[in-house]
Amino acid sequence: MQRTFIMVKPDGVKRKLIGEIVSRFEQKGFTLLQAEFMTIDREKAEYHYEEHNEKPFFGELVDFITSAPVFAMVWEGENIIEVSRTMIGKTSPTEALPGTIRGDFAFCKEENVIHGSDSLESAEREIANFFDPLKLRDGKADYNQNVR
């Protein structure tokens, strides 16, 4: 069982896509462990996107993600890191396929609705950046309701 960090970005919150996104993850059988609206400070945002800190778009990326509240979540499920990246779709709207979240809702690369961790290491690191891992809900009680 894996955990991952999923975040509805400021554009997704403004466009009222939280319900749609939570619904897709629930329908897939994944379990929500933690969720919170938060306005990210620059320090947390720069740490979150640290791998991009040399890129020309880094400043604008941090400006955008700190510009308005995000809806941050921790989800759990089998192979959820890889599966959630598939559900989210490619970074650019010109490549994100219909049926993926970005394919269905995003129309620009800089504001693409949702973030999902891309590896076990980044999931652990990102969850710890935004939540106290010791306070995560135990989702076990939900699992017998999953359709498999």
Residue 143 binds to ligand RTP (criterion: CB under 6 A): no
Separation of alpha carbons 43 and 50, rounded Å:
10
Nearest-approach distance from CB 36 to ligand RTP, in angstroms: 18
Q: Is residue 125 a known part of a binding site? A: no
Helix or strand run (H / E) with residue 29: none
Residue with smaller CB distance to ligand RTP, 42 or 140: 42
Determine how β-strand 70-77 pairs with β-strand 2-8: antiparallel
Separation of alpha carbons 102 and 33, rounded Å:
23
44-83 mask for ligand RTP (x: CB under 6 A)?
Answer: --------x----x---x----------------------
Contact in structure between 43 and 129 (CB atoms under 8 Å)? no
Cα angle 74, 26, 102; round to 5: 80
Residue 10 binds to ligand RTP (criterion: CB under 6 A): no
Residue 109 binds to ligand RTP (criterion: CB under 6 A): yes
Sort 43 into a burial class: Cβ within 10 Å, 0-12 / 13-18 / 19+: exposed
The region of 28-36, 68-76, 111-119, 133-141 touching ligand RTP under the rule CB under 6 A is: 111-119
Residue 115 binds to ligand RTP (criterion: CB under 6 A): yes
Residue 91 binds to ligand RTP (criterion: CB under 6 A): yes
Q: Is residue 91 a known part of a binding site? A: yes
Residue with smaller CB distance to ligand RTP, 41 or 138: 41
Q: Find, among 44, 32, 25, the residue nearest to 3 by Cα.
A: 32
List contacts with ligand RTP (CB under 6 A).
Answer: 52, 57, 61, 91, 109-110, 112, 115-116, 118
